[in-house]
Protein backbone atom coordinates (compact mmCIF):
# COMPACT_ATOMS: atom_id res chain seq x y z
CA UNK A 1 0.00 0.00 0.00
CA UNK A 2 1.33 3.43 -0.93
CA UNK A 3 1.79 5.46 2.23
CA UNK A 4 0.81 9.11 2.37
CA UNK A 5 2.58 10.79 5.26
CA UNK A 6 3.16 14.27 6.59
CA UNK A 7 6.10 15.29 8.81
CA UNK A 8 5.44 18.08 11.27
CA UNK A 9 7.51 20.10 13.72
CA UNK A 10 8.89 23.55 14.42
CA UNK A 11 11.62 25.18 12.29
CA UNK A 12 14.91 23.44 13.01
CA UNK A 13 13.34 20.23 14.33
CA UNK A 14 14.95 18.12 11.60
CA UNK A 15 11.90 17.64 9.37
CA UNK A 16 13.85 17.92 6.11
CA UNK A 17 16.61 15.55 7.20
CA UNK A 18 14.17 12.95 8.51
CA UNK A 19 11.78 13.33 5.55
CA UNK A 20 14.60 12.59 3.10
CA UNK A 21 15.68 9.49 5.04
CA UNK A 22 12.17 8.16 5.72
CA UNK A 23 11.05 8.94 2.16
CA UNK A 24 13.95 6.97 0.72
CA UNK A 25 13.63 4.02 3.12
CA UNK A 26 9.88 3.72 2.48
CA UNK A 27 10.15 4.55 -1.25
CA UNK A 28 7.99 7.66 -0.97
CA UNK A 29 8.27 10.89 -2.94
CA UNK A 30 9.76 13.52 -0.61
CA UNK A 31 7.55 16.55 -1.26
CA UNK A 32 9.45 19.44 0.28
CA UNK A 33 7.87 22.85 -0.06
CA UNK A 34 11.16 24.29 1.19
CA UNK A 35 12.98 22.70 -1.76
CA UNK A 36 10.32 24.00 -4.16
CA UNK A 37 10.60 27.52 -2.75
CA UNK A 38 14.43 27.48 -2.70
CA UNK A 39 14.42 26.41 -6.35
CA UNK A 40 12.13 29.34 -7.22
CA UNK A 41 14.41 31.77 -5.33
CA UNK A 42 17.56 30.35 -6.96
CA UNK A 43 15.99 30.69 -10.41
CA UNK A 44 15.59 34.42 -9.75
CA UNK A 45 12.14 34.52 -11.29
CA UNK A 46 9.62 37.17 -10.29
CA UNK A 47 7.91 34.56 -8.13
CA UNK A 48 11.28 33.62 -6.64
CA UNK A 49 11.99 37.25 -5.73
CA UNK A 50 8.59 37.58 -4.03
CA UNK A 51 9.23 34.36 -2.14
CA UNK A 52 12.70 35.55 -1.06
CA UNK A 53 11.30 38.77 0.42
CA UNK A 54 8.77 36.79 2.47
CA UNK A 55 11.31 34.18 3.60
CA UNK A 56 13.90 36.81 4.54
CA UNK A 57 11.34 38.38 6.90
CA UNK A 58 10.66 34.95 8.45
CA UNK A 59 7.02 35.03 7.32
CA UNK A 60 5.00 32.38 5.46
CA UNK A 61 4.30 32.26 1.71
CA UNK A 62 0.59 32.73 0.84
CA UNK A 63 -1.74 29.77 1.23
CA UNK A 64 -2.97 29.89 -2.38
CA UNK A 65 0.54 29.80 -3.80
CA UNK A 66 1.65 26.95 -1.54
CA UNK A 67 -1.47 24.89 -2.24
CA UNK A 68 -1.02 25.30 -6.01
CA UNK A 69 2.63 24.21 -5.78
CA UNK A 70 1.76 21.16 -3.67
CA UNK A 71 -1.24 20.11 -5.75
CA UNK A 72 0.89 20.22 -8.90
CA UNK A 73 3.63 18.20 -7.18
CA UNK A 74 1.22 15.51 -5.91
CA UNK A 75 -0.01 14.97 -9.46
CA UNK A 76 3.48 13.95 -10.62
CA UNK A 77 4.10 10.25 -11.27
CA UNK A 78 6.47 9.55 -8.37
CA UNK A 79 3.97 10.91 -5.80
CA UNK A 80 1.29 8.50 -7.05
CA UNK A 81 3.26 5.69 -5.37
CA UNK A 82 3.11 7.45 -2.00
CA UNK A 83 4.56 10.64 -0.59
CA UNK A 84 5.89 12.34 2.50
CA UNK A 85 4.91 16.01 2.80
CA UNK A 86 7.58 18.19 4.40
CA UNK A 87 6.82 21.82 5.28
CA UNK A 88 3.17 21.74 4.30
CA UNK A 89 0.53 22.50 5.47
CA UNK A 90 1.61 25.41 7.68
CA UNK A 91 -1.76 27.10 8.17
CA UNK A 92 -5.33 25.94 8.77
CA UNK A 93 -6.32 27.19 5.30
CA UNK A 94 -3.54 25.06 3.77
CA UNK A 95 -4.67 22.02 5.79
CA UNK A 96 -8.24 22.50 4.57
CA UNK A 97 -6.99 22.93 1.00
CA UNK A 98 -4.87 19.77 1.27
CA UNK A 99 -7.89 17.83 2.51
CA UNK A 100 -9.86 19.02 -0.56
CA UNK A 101 -7.00 18.09 -2.92
CA UNK A 102 -6.67 14.61 -1.41
CA UNK A 103 -10.44 14.03 -1.40
CA UNK A 104 -10.62 15.09 -5.05
CA UNK A 105 -7.83 12.57 -5.80
CA UNK A 106 -9.73 9.86 -3.89
CA UNK A 107 -7.10 9.46 -1.18
CA UNK A 108 -6.17 10.61 2.32
CA UNK A 109 -3.21 11.00 4.66
CA UNK A 110 -2.25 7.84 6.55
CA UNK A 111 -0.22 9.40 9.36
CA UNK A 112 1.32 12.61 10.68
CA UNK A 113 4.85 12.29 12.08
CA UNK A 114 5.38 14.92 14.80
CA UNK A 115 8.91 15.81 15.89
CA UNK A 116 8.98 17.22 19.44
CA UNK A 117 11.93 19.57 20.11
CA UNK A 118 12.02 22.30 22.78
CA UNK A 119 12.68 25.95 21.88
CA UNK A 120 16.14 26.14 23.49
CA UNK A 121 17.35 23.23 21.35
CA UNK A 122 15.78 24.79 18.22
CA UNK A 123 17.57 28.11 18.77
CA UNK A 124 20.85 26.27 19.47
CA UNK A 125 20.50 24.29 16.22
CA UNK A 126 19.70 27.41 14.19
CA UNK A 127 22.69 29.29 15.56
CA UNK A 128 24.96 26.31 14.80
CA UNK A 129 23.88 26.31 11.13
CA UNK A 130 25.34 29.78 10.71
CA UNK A 131 23.09 30.79 7.81
CA UNK A 132 22.76 34.50 7.10
CA UNK A 133 19.00 34.46 7.78
CA UNK A 134 19.39 32.67 11.13
CA UNK A 135 19.82 35.56 13.58
CA UNK A 136 18.43 34.81 17.04
CA UNK A 137 15.71 37.44 16.47
CA UNK A 138 14.64 35.85 13.14
CA UNK A 139 14.69 32.35 14.64
CA UNK A 140 12.49 33.51 17.53
CA UNK A 141 10.12 35.18 15.03
CA UNK A 142 9.89 31.91 13.07
CA UNK A 143 9.06 30.05 16.27
CA UNK A 144 6.38 32.63 17.13
CA UNK A 145 4.88 32.28 13.63
CA UNK A 146 5.00 28.48 14.01
CA UNK A 147 3.23 28.58 17.39
CA UNK A 148 0.59 31.04 16.17
CA UNK A 149 -0.12 29.79 12.66
CA UNK A 150 1.30 26.32 12.13
CA UNK A 151 0.94 24.44 15.41
CA UNK A 152 -2.88 24.83 15.32
CA UNK A 153 -2.87 22.72 12.13
CA UNK A 154 -2.42 19.65 14.34
CA UNK A 155 -5.89 20.31 15.73
CA UNK A 156 -7.31 20.09 12.21
CA UNK A 157 -5.86 16.58 11.77
CA UNK A 158 -6.59 15.30 15.28
CA UNK A 159 -9.09 12.45 15.18
CA UNK A 160 -8.87 12.27 11.36
CA UNK A 161 -5.28 11.05 10.93
CA UNK A 162 -3.07 8.81 13.05
CA UNK A 163 -0.33 10.73 14.91
CA UNK A 164 3.18 9.31 15.30
CA UNK A 165 4.77 11.61 17.90
CA UNK A 166 8.52 11.18 18.51
CA UNK A 167 11.27 12.87 20.49
CA UNK A 168 13.22 14.89 17.91
CA UNK A 169 16.35 15.25 20.06
CA UNK A 170 19.29 12.90 19.59
CA UNK A 171 21.43 11.82 16.70
CA UNK A 172 19.89 11.44 13.25
CA UNK A 173 19.90 7.63 13.33
CA UNK A 174 18.17 7.49 16.74
CA UNK A 175 15.42 9.83 15.59
CA UNK A 176 14.95 7.90 12.34
CA UNK A 177 14.66 4.66 14.31
CA UNK A 178 12.02 6.22 16.60
CA UNK A 179 9.99 7.33 13.57
CA UNK A 180 10.24 3.96 11.80
CA UNK A 181 9.30 2.11 15.01
CA UNK A 182 6.36 4.45 15.58
CA UNK A 183 5.06 4.08 12.04
CA UNK A 184 5.47 0.30 12.00
CA UNK A 185 4.03 -0.23 15.50
CA UNK A 186 0.95 1.73 14.62
CA UNK A 187 0.65 0.51 11.02
CA UNK A 188 -3.12 0.20 11.12
CA UNK A 189 -4.11 1.89 7.87
Catalytic residue (choose from 4, 15, 73, 178): 15
pLDDT in tens, the chain (189 residues): 589 999 999 999 999 999 999 999 999 999 998 888 888 788 887 777 888 888 888 787 888 888 888 888 898 899 999 999 998 998 899 999 999 999 998 999 999 999 999 988 998 898 888 777 668 888 888 899 899 989 999 999 999 999 999 999 999 999 999 999 999 985 544
| Distance, CA of 98 to CA of 104 (rounded, Å) | 10
Is 19 in contact with 30 (CB distance < 8 Å)? yes
Run of H or E residues at 32: strand 29-32
The DSSP symbol for 62 reads P
- Peptide bond preceding 89 in cis form (omega within 30 of 0): yes
Q: Supply the pTM of this predicted model.
A: 0.85
Known catalytic membership, residue 73: no
Is 142 an active-site residue?
Answer: yes
What domains can you pick out in the chain, each with its CATH number?
A: 4-185 (3.40.50.300)
Helical segments of 33-189, H only: 33-43, 46-57, 63-74, 77-80, 92-104, 119-129, 136-145, 153-157, 172-185
C-alpha 120 chain-centroid distance: 20
162 an active-site residue? no
| Catalytic residue from among 49, 57, 124, 129 | 129
Catalytic residue selected from 4, 73, 142, 178: 142
Residue 15 annotated among the catalytic residues of the structure: yes
Residues 6+ apart with CB under 8 A from 107: 4
Amino acid sequence: MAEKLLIFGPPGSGKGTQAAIIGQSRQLAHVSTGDMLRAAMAAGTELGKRVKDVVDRGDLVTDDLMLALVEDRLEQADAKGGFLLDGFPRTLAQAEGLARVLTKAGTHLDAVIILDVDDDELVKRAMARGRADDSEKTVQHRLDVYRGQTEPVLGFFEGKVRFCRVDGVGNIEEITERIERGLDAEHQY
